[in-house]
Amino acid sequence: MPAGSIRARVRAEMVTEIKTVARRHLATDGANLSLRAVARDMGMVSSALYRYFASRDDLLTALIIDAYNALGGAAEKADAEFPDRGDLRGRLLAVGRAIRHWALASPAEYALIFGSPVPGYAAPADTVVAAQRTPDVLLGIFVDGFAANAVRAPVAALVPALRADMVAARDAIAPSLPPEVFAHGTIAWIHLFGAVSFELFGQLNNVIVARDEYFDYQMGQIAGLVGLG
């Protein structure tokens, strides 16, 4: 094997190990990552870590992109494997369940991308493509439903300022949708993640015991609210 290939493999393995240790810190310390602490756990001096990540923000960005990709992959898989493409409510429920399952299994990563902003950190443009994967799946359900004339047209009109926002966002993501239908897609997206966040961050503790059933109930109500089916 060429020396360059060996170095690339060793570097990739080291990057993977660094991110694995950093995720453990996310679980115990939140997003307040310390490269020094990560290096200490790996038995390295902190200066050695800078050969792989130039700063804490670079490491955070790598973890954020990984989390968005993992979540997006779970959503894409759930939608792709759903057998009846015309069952819009069923697809929304399947995707919602996959998002919730991933969040409950990876609470620290979910909190990193949907929790409180990390002080002093500004996400670079590198995160956008990965972040877009999950909303693309959700809006894809509306695109398919609208093409099949299976999405109820929203009754409420958009005021001009809001319509302008929806048109701008729609043009970049789902240009085939009327702004009103796109707006309903954003409502489904926000409500879904609100339901997941409420459960994950403890807002349902001592209130709701039947968590699976309650989540499915919410998804059914959201589907009806936004005109799916």
Q: How confident is the model at residue 94 (pLDDT cuts 50, 70, 90)?
A: very high
**Residue 155: predicted pLDDT:** 84
Is residue 111 within 8 Å of 30, Cβ to Cβ? yes
Rounded distance between C-alpha atoms, residue 82 and residue 147, angstroms:
18
The pLDDT of residue 159 is above 90: yes
> What single letter denotes the amino acid at residue 216?
D
Which pLDDT does position 4 carry in this prediction? 62
Q: What is the largest CA-CA distance in the chain?
A: 64
> Which pLDDT score is estimated for 128?
95
Q: Name the pLDDT band for 2 (thresholds 50, 70, 90).
A: low
Q: Tell me the per-residue pLDDT of 61-93, one tens digit each, with 9 for 90 and over.
A: 999 999 999 999 999 999 999 999 999 999 999
Q: Is 22 exposed, middle or buried (0-12, 13-18, 19+ CB in 10 A)?
A: buried
Q: What percent of the chain has pLDDT over 90?
A: 79
Band of the pLDDT at 3, cuts 50, 70, 90?
low
Distance of CA 38 to the CA centre of its chain: 25
Q: Tell me how far apart the alpha carbons of residues 187 and 207 are, in angstroms, rounded to a whole number.
A: 24
**Is residue 146 a contact partner of residue 176, using CB atoms and an 8 Å limit?**
yes
pLDDT on residue 96 = 98
Phi-psi region of 58 (alpha: psi -120 to 50; beta: other; left: phi over 0): alpha
Label residue 10 by pLDDT band (50, 70, 90).
confident
Instruction: Tell me what pLDDT residue 67 has.
Output: 98
Of 50 and 192, the structure prediction assigns the larger pLDDT to 192
Average pLDDT value for residue range 133-147: 96
Provide the mean pLDDT of the chain: 93
pLDDT at 63: 97
Give the mean pLDDT of 113-126.
Answer: 90
Distance CA 191, CA 175 (A): 22
Residue 8 pLDDT: 87
* CB neighbours of residue 14 within 10 Å: 16
Asked which of 30-44, 61-75, 185-199 is least confident by mean pLDDT, the reply is: 30-44
Could you tell me the CA-to-CA distances from 30 to 26, 117, 119, 121 in Å, in that order? 4, 11, 12, 14
Pull the structure tokens for residue 151. 């999405």
Q: Are the C-beta atoms of 208 and 165 separated by less than 8 Å? A: no
From the CB of residue 48, how many other CB atoms can be counted at a distance below 10 Å?
12
Which of 4-8, 48-52, 204-208, 209-213 is predicted least confidently?
4-8
Long-range CB contact pairs, 115-119, < 8 A, 24+ = 115/31, 115/201, 118/31, 118/32, 118/60
User: What was the pLDDT predicted at 29?
Assistant: 84
The per-residue pLDDT for 48 is: 87
